[in-house]
């Protein structure tokens, strides 16, 4: 466990930036908090989570894959040689990245993701750096380094060898300093996850009637935002564009809320209603992924609830499920 002040934090980031394309939280002119290149604007070390999901950097909304020239030659998309470092991600975002890392690495590996993700560095930022200085729960170690904001600087702990090497020069501090934060953090996590986990059990037990999904589906305006902002959503479709120089194939973020997502060539759609598609969205996170990966694939990052124009993000739906169908 290390301790550092702002000058030392800047020194760490400056050092990282020598070997990585370092992105750090900054506030744009309209107030939106996004990861932006280190050195291009002011580092904003507290506030709401960065708005763009962190998986964007490895699986962007438009992801060019390859180009076929007119002679039939295939050229794969180029990837910058310098690996990426994302700084400032919270516990939920790091868990989401960890989830997608495992998903994409599972055979057959997602090469386009892997090539962007390889050798990347993740630095978490937790502690008292949420909106209005609220406590952000500690990570579960799915990063190279975690910085924990305190009133008088940051605690730093490494979870990988690279992380340890980067922190080597900083002052050691008694790990006990973390004691209270850790217990507060665990309490917060348990509280936040209680509703989601209860909703997941209800969904897994098939206790949610079709009428409920119809009701929620009726409130969906099909913006697809819930999927697009979700860091554990990875579905994409393929776009080919042909010009005089050949054909470029890209993948673009898709959404299971679209009719076209599952529609067959015949026009028939096995998920042909909004009710079915809404059920799928929630069921996948709370039941299907639990069966497949052993964990709920929502880590309460909060993005879908913020971006949903009609208030049917996963936390709102989970709360409604618990309220109406809990047998306790």
Partner 1 sequence: MKPTLTVCPYCGTGCMFHLLRDESGRLSGVEPSGAHPVSRGQLCVKGWNAHAFVAHPDRLTTPLIRRNGRLEAAGWDEALELVHRRLRQLADDHGSDSLMFLSSAKVSNEENYLLMKLARAGFGTNNVDHCARLCHSSTVTGLVETLGSGAMTNSIGCFDQTDLVLVIGSNTTEQHPLIGSRILQAVQNGTRLIVADSRKIRLSRHADLHLRQRNGSDVALLNGIIRQIIEEGLEDRAFIETRTENYPALKAAVEPYTPQRTAELTGLDAEQIIAAARMFAQADKAMLVYAMGITQHSHGVDNVRAVSNLALLTCNLGRPGTGVNPLRGQNNVQGACDMGALPDVYSGYQKVADPAMRTKFSNAWGVPLPSSPGLMSTHAIDAAVAGTLKGFFILGENPLLSDANQAHVRQALENLEFMVTVDIFMTETCELADVVLPASCYAEKDGTFTSTERRVQRGRTAVDPPGEARTDWQILTHLLRRCGLPAAYADPGQIMEEIAALTPSYGGISYQRLDLDGLCWPCPDSSHPGTPILHQQQCTRGKGHFSPVSYKPAKEEPDAEYPLLFSTGRTYFHWHTGSMTRRSHLLDREERRAFAELNPQDAERLGIGDRQTIRISSRRGTIEVSAEITERVPPGQVFAPFHFAEGAANVLTNNALDPESGIPEFKVCAVRVEAL
Residues 301-320 that bind partner 1 (CB under 8 A): 306-311
DSSP 176: G
Strands 84-89 and 121-128: parallel
Query: Which position among 6, 62, 74, 76 is part of the footprint of partner 1 (CB under 8 A)?
Result: 62
Residue 231 as a binder of partner 1 (CB under 8 A): the answer is no
Give 18 or 78: the residue with its C-beta nearer to partner 1.
78
- Can you tell me the distance from the alpha carbon of 310 to that of 257, in angstroms, rounded to the nearest whole number? 14
If one asks whether residue 114 binds partner 1 (CB under 8 A), the answer comes out as: no
| Ordered alpha helix ranges (H), 106-178 | 111-117, 161-167
Residue 184, interface with partner 1 (CB under 8 A)? Answer: no
- In the complex, the smallest distance separating the C-beta of residue 21 from partner 1, rounded to whole angstroms, is 9
Closest to 136 measured CA to CA, from 95, 75, 83, 99: 95
Alpha helices in the chain (DSSP H): 6-17, 91-105, 111-117, 161-167, 179-204, 210-218, 225-229, 274-283, 289-293, 303-307, 314-325
Q: Among 7, 18, 30, 328, which residue interacts with partner 1 (rule: CB under 8 A)? A: 30
What is the chain's percent helix, strand, coil content, to nearest 5?
Answer: 40, 20, 40
Q: Which is nearer to partner 1, 156 or 304 (CB)?
A: 304
Q: Supply the Cα-derived Rg of the chain in whole angstroms.
A: 21
Q: Distances from the Cα of 60 to the Cαs of 51, 53, 55, 118, 254, in angstroms?
A: 14, 10, 7, 15, 11
**Is residue 131 part of the contact set for partner 1 (CB under 8 A)?**
no
Q: Given CA atoms 36, 131, 200, 221 in this order, what sign does their dihedral have?
A: negative
Quick one: which segment of 34-42, 130-138, 155-163, 280-288 binds partner 1 (CB under 8 A)? 34-42
Q: By C-beta, is 1 or 68 nearer to partner 1? A: 68
Tell me which of 19, 51, 160, 164 binds partner 1, using CB under 8 A. Answer: 51
Q: Is residue 228 within the footprint of partner 1 (CB under 8 A)?
A: yes
- The answer to whether 188 contacts partner 1 (rule: CB under 8 A) is no
Can you tell me which of 5, 14, 32, 177 binds partner 1, judged by CB under 8 A?
32
Q: How far is the CB of 48 from partner 1 (least distance, A)?
A: 8
Contact region with partner 1 (CB under 8 A), list: 156-164, 187-195, 247-255, 283-291 = 247-255
- Could you list the residues that contact partner 1 (CB under 8 A)? 28-36, 48, 51-52, 56-57, 60-64, 80, 218-219, 221-225, 228, 237, 239, 241-243, 252-255, 258-260, 267, 306-311
């Amino acid at each position: 466990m290390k301790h550092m002040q702002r000058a030392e934090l800047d020194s760490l980031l400056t050092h990282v930036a020598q070997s990585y394309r370092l992105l750090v939280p900054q506030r744009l002119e309209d107030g939106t908090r996004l990861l932006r290149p280190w050195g291009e604007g002011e580092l904003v070390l507290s506030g709401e989570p960065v708005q763009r999901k962190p998986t964007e950097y490895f699986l962007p909304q438009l992801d060019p894959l390859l180009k076929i020239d007119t002679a039939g030659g295939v050229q794969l998309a180029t990837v910058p040689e310098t690996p990426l470092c994302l700084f400032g991600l919270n516990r939920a975002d790091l868990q989401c990245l960890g989830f997608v890392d495992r998903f994409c690495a599972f055979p057959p590996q997602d090469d386009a993701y892997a090539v962007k993700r390889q050798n990347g560095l993740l630095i978490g930022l937790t502690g008292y750096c949420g909106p209005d200085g609220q406590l952000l729960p500690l990570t579960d170690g799915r990063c190279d380094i975690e910085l924990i904001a305190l009133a008088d600087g940051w605690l730093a702990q490494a979870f990988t060898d690279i992380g340890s090497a980067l922190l080597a020069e900083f002052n050691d501090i008694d790990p006990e300093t973390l004691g209270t934060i850790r217990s507060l953090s665990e309490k917060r996590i348990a509280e936040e996850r209680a509703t989601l986990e209860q909703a997941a059990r209800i969904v897994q037990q098939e206790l949610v009637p079709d009428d409920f999904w119809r009701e929620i589906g009726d409130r969906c305006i099909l913006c697809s935002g819930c999927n697009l902002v979700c860091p554990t959503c990875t579905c994409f479709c393929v776009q080919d564009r042909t010009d005089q120089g050949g054909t470029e194939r890209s993948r673009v973020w898709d959404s299971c809320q679209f009719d076209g997502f599952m529609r067959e060539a015949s026009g028939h759609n096995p998920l042909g209603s909004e009710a079915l598609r809404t059920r799928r969205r929630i069921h996948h996170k709370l039941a299907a992924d639990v069966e497949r990966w052993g964990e709920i694939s929502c880590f309460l990052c909060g993005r879908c609830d913020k971006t949903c124009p009609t208030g049917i993000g996963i936390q709102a739906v989970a709360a409604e499920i618990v309220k109406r169908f809990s047998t306790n």
